């Protein structure tokens, strides 16, 4: 199991599908602007 990130740690690169169907990766934005990533897991789930 990987260790959790701590405040100030650099997030590892990852890619996610966007609404445009083109994947977006964290590395595209690194050093260019602030970025907030939020995961909202309640839509389309029974919880």
The pLDDT score that the predictor gives to residue 47 is 59
- Answer whether 24's CB lies under 8 Å from 15's CB: yes
Question: Domains of the chain: which residue ranges?
Answer: 16-47
Taking the whole predicted model, whether its pTM rises above 0.75 is answered as no
Q: How far is CA 40 from CA 16, 30, 31, 44, in A?
A: 14, 23, 25, 10
Interval 1-47: pLDDT, tens: 567 888 888 888 989 888 888 898 989 888 887 878 777 777 776 65
- pLDDT value, residue 45: 67
In the numeric block, which tokens belong to residue 8? 């100030």
pLDDT of residue 1: 53
State the pLDDT at residue 21. 80
* DSSP string for the chain: -PPPP-TTPPPPP-EEE-TTSSEEEGGGTTTTS---------TTS--
């Amino acid at each position: 199991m990987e260790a959790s990130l701590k405040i100030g740690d650099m997030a590892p690169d990852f890619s996610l599908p966007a609404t445009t169907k083109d994947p977006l990766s964290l590395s595209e934005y690194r050093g260019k602007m602030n970025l907030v990533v939020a995961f909202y897991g309640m839509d389309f789930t029974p919880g």
